[in-house]
Chains A and B, each alone.
Chain A
C-alpha cells in the first residue's frame, strides 16, 4: 500500500515536471526554452548590467569606477548586495543549526578517541597542509567579489583544515575562542546592516565607496561582509566538528 502511494506520488511529480517544462508559449510565460529567455522582462537583466538605479552606461572590467555594487563577480553582487538580506538569513540558518547541534549533543569535556593509530608521517604532513588550507579559505572569501567563491565555501575550506587536524590528533579540541569569533562575526554582520540603515537610510545598504570594478579594494561593503561570513562559517563548522567529537562529562 505504502509503495503504491509513493509510486503514485512519484508519477504525479513526473507529470508535473513535464507539464511545467512544456508550458512556454507565445502568449503566456512558462519556463523558457534553452537560450530563449527574454532577459529584459526579468529582474536579472538589471543585475547583470548593474543598472537597477537607472545607470545605462556600459560596465568595463578594470575601467569603470563607482558602478552599482562595484563587484566584478555578478553572482556575488546579487548574493551580498542586491539580496544581502537573504544571505543574513542563510547565515542565521547555519548559526541556529550549529547552536542546535551544540544544545543536543552538548559540548562534553572528553574527546572521542579514534581506533586507528595514525602514522607520524601523516600527522606531520597534515600539520603542514592544514595551515595552507586555511590560507586558501581566507583567499577564497577575501577574493569573493572578484572570482568565484565567497564566504560560505571559504569558511567550509577553513573548517576542512580544522577537521584534518582533528582527524590525525586524538587530543585536539577547538578553542573556546571559536564560539566568541562566531558570535561577534554574526553581530558584526547585523551591525553593518544597521550602519547602512543609520548612514544611508536602508538596512544593509552599501555605505562605502565602490571603487573600480575588478580591483581588490572595490565593491564597498561586499569584501567586508564576505570576510565576516567566511570567518563565521569557518568557526561555526569547526564548532560542529568539535561537538561531534566530544562525549560525556560535564558541560564544557
Chain B
C-alpha cells in the first residue's frame, strides 16, 4: 500500500465535510478508522522504503520515506488519534463542529511523520500548526482564545525561522531532500558556517512545536484551557510527530556545535519542567508541565545523537504519548464527576472507582519511570546514553527524575487517601466502556513493554538506527547515482 493514502484520505474527507455539514462527523470517524487500520496493517508490512510523489525520482521530486522509525510511530499516532476521537462519541455534537480541523490535523501529522523533504515538512508543520491553533481555541470562555493567540504568535515566528533555516541550506546545497543533504553535510561539502546558522534557525523553529525551553511559553495554557478532546490530541499525538520532525531533521542536517546546545537546552527543559510541575496545584497543569519535561527528555537525547540515545528518545516519546493519553483521560473523568481537579477535590477519588485508580497508577508510574513499566526502560537508556557527554547531564536528569517520581507519587497518594472531602463523590463510580477499553489496552501495552525482553525491544533499536544511519545511507546512494 502506498503510504500517501494516509494523507490523501483524511484530506479528501476534510474537503468534503467543509461543505457537506451533515456527513462531517461520519467523515471524521471514517478517516480515523481508515488511518488506524492502514497505519497498522498497511505500513507495518511494507518492504519498499521510498515512495516518490509525482513520479519524479528522489532528490528532484518529493518522496515519502517508510523506515523502521515510521513503522513504529505511524501506527501509534494513528491509533491514539482514533482512541481520542472514539473517547468523545458521547459529546459528538461539540466534536463534529471541528471535524474539518481534526481531519486536516490527521493528514498533516501523517505527512510530518512520512515526508523526507525539508520544504514539504515545512508545509505540513504549517498545516499541523494552524490546526493546532484552532484546536487550542475550542475551549469554553476567552481563556482558550488568549492561549491560542499566544500559541499562534510564537508558532508563526517559529515556522518562519524554520523556513529561513531551510532557505539558507537550500541556498548552499541546492537540494531539499533530507537524505541528500545529510550525505552532503557528512562528507564535508557544505561550509561549516552554513550548517551552524541553519541548524540554529531550525532548532529555534522546531523548538516551538516540540516544547524546547525558551520557546515553550504557550504549552501550559493551551493544554489546560482548550476543549478536552483537543487536549487529548495535542498532548498525545502531536508530540509524537513534532519531536519526530525535530530528530529527523537535526540528526540529518544538524551541526555538532548546535547539537551540544540542544543537549543543554533539552536538559534545562527537563529540569525546569519538572520543578514547575512539582509546584502545581491542579492535576491538569501538572500534566501540562510534565509534558514539557518529557519533551525535553526526548530532545536532549537527540542532541547526543548516538543510536543508544535515539533508542531511548523514541521509547520515551512513545511512552509519553500512551501515558499522557491515559492521564488526561483520567483527568477528564475527574472533571466530569466533580467539576474541578485540585488536590483537595481528588482526595480519595481512586477508592470510589478502583479501575480509574489503577489506570492512573500505571500511567503515572510509567511516566515517572518506575521499574516494571515502559518508562523505566526509556529512562535507563537515556541515562546510560548521556554518560557519553559529561557527568553533569546524567546527574541533572536523575535529579529531575527524582522530582518527577515525588510529585507523581504524591498525586497517587492523594488519589487513594482514605479520608475524602466534601467534593468526593459518595457512591462508587462506573467509568464508561470506551474509557475502560482504551485504558486497559494502553496499560497492558505499557506493562508488556516494561517486562518483555529481547525481540520486542529490538524494534526500538532498529527504529533509532534507521534515523541515525538509515537516512544518511539513502543520501549516499543518491549522491553516488547523480
Contact = CB atoms under 8 A, between A and B. Distances in A.
B448 interface: no
A114 interface: no
B101 interface: yes
A14 to B, nearest CB: 12
A85 B133 contact: no
A28 B193 CA distance: 10
Query: Most chain-A CB neighbours within 10 Å: which of B52, B53, B192?
Result: B53
B54 A93 contact: no
B175 A197 contact: no
A251 to B, nearest CB: 10
Contact of A183 (B16, B111, B173, B176): B16
A200 to B, nearest CB: 6
A230 B192 CA distance: 42
Query: Most chain-B CB neighbours within 10 Å: which of A43, A93, A206?
Result: A43
Interface in A193-221: 193-194, 196-197, 200-206
Interface string B177-215: 100000010001111111011001100000000000000
Nearest to A30: B191
Interface string B109-124: 0010000000110011
B168 A31 contact: yes
Contacts of B57: 52-53
B120 A86 contact: yes
Given A19-B193, A85-B54, A191 B12 contact: yes
B97 to A, nearest CB: 7
Contacts of A46: 60
B192 to A, nearest CB: 7
| B interface majority secondary structure | helix
Given A95-B15, A205-B55, A41 B134 contact: no
B193 A30 contact: yes
Contact of A187 (B12, B56, B104): B12
A92 B104 contact: yes
A99 B12 CA distance: 15
B155 interface: no
A19 B168 CA distance: 11
B339 interface: no
A96 B52 contact: no
Interface stretch (A76-84, A127-135, A151-159): A76-84
Given A23-B172, A190-B8, A197-B4, A82 B61 contact: yes
Given A84-B53, A193-B8, A197-B4, A96 B191 contact: no
B20 A203 contact: no
A244 B278 CA distance: 44
A180 interface: yes
B168 A187 contact: no
B54 A84 contact: yes
B53 A23 contact: no
Contacts, number: 181
B130 interface: yes
A43 B62 contact: no
B53 A204 contact: yes
Interface string A36-59: 010001111011000011000000
A29 interface: yes
A182 interface: yes
B134 A28 contact: no
A41 B174 contact: yes
A190 to B, nearest CB: 4
B118 to A, nearest CB: 11
Interface string B360-372: 0000000000000
B171 interface: yes
B100 interface: yes
B193 A203 contact: no
B231 to A, nearest CB: 18
Given A28-B190, A93-B126, A103-B101, A81 B54 contact: yes
B175 A42 contact: yes
Contacts of A186: 11, 14-15, 18
B20 A183 contact: yes
Given A16-B197, A43-B60, A190-B12, A93 B175 contact: no
Given A30-B172, A103-B97, A85 B127 contact: no
Interface in B107-158: 107-108, 111, 119-120, 123-124, 126-127, 130-131, 133-134, 137, 145
Interface of A: 16-17, 19-20, 22-25, 28-32, 37, 41-44, 46-47, 52-53, 81-86, 88-90, 92-93, 95-97, 99-100, 103-104, 179-180, 182-184, 186-187, 190-191, 193-194, 196-197, 200-206
The 7 A-B pairs at the shortest CB distance, nearest first, are namely A42-B174, A89-B123, A186-B15, A183-B19, A205-B55, A30-B191, A23-B193
30 contacts: A19-B197, A23-B191, A28-B191, A29-B194, A31-B172, A32-B171, A32-B172, A43-B174, A44-B174, A47-B60, A82-B56, A82-B61, A84-B53, A89-B127, A92-B108, A96-B127, A96-B131, A96-B134, A103-B134, A104-B145, A183-B19, A187-B15, A190-B15, A194-B8, A194-B12, A196-B54, A197-B8, A200-B55, A201-B55, A203-B4
Given A30-B190, A100-B101, 5 more contacts: A29-B173, A30-B172, A100-B133, A191-B12, A203-B8
